[in-house]
Amino acid sequence: MNKADLVQAIEGKLGSRKAATDAVETILETIVAEVSKGGKVALTGFGTFEKAARAARTGRNPRTGETVKIRKTSVPRFTASAKF
């Protein structure tokens, strides 16, 4: 299922495609904004979205085999709830 399929599934409950699209867009934008700020979004029965730190590490260029330093970075992390 992709975003368009999700909108179509919600459309039946809300009655219009515009309302369903707005609902999906608003939810996704809110989750992205909160996690980007370092917050945590917990949806009971579904899971938790949060920001996680990846440490700096050494990688390797697959084409040349040369060693490359990879900087530390932040990534989104999703943890599913027990019910999910």
Query: Higher confidence at residue 52 or residue 84?
Result: 52
Are 18 and 47 within one domain? no
20 and 44 in a single domain? The answer is no
Q: How far apart are CA 13 and CA 16, in angstroms?
A: 8
pLDDT single digits (tens) 10-38: 998 898 999 999 999 999 999 999 999 99
> Would the pLDDT of 84 be above 90?
no
Q: Determine the structural domain holding residue 15 and report its residue range.
A: 1-37
> How many domains in the chain?
2
Residues 47 and 73 placed together within one structural domain of the fold = yes
Same domain, yes or no: 46 and 33: no
pLDDT tens track for 32-70:
999 999 999 999 999 999 999 999 999 999 999 999 999
Give the separation between CA 38 and CA 77, rounded to whole angstroms: 11
Whole-angstrom CA distances from 24 to 8, 15, 42, 81, 84 are 10, 14, 17, 21, 20
pTM of the predicted model as reported, rounded to 2 decimal places: 0.78
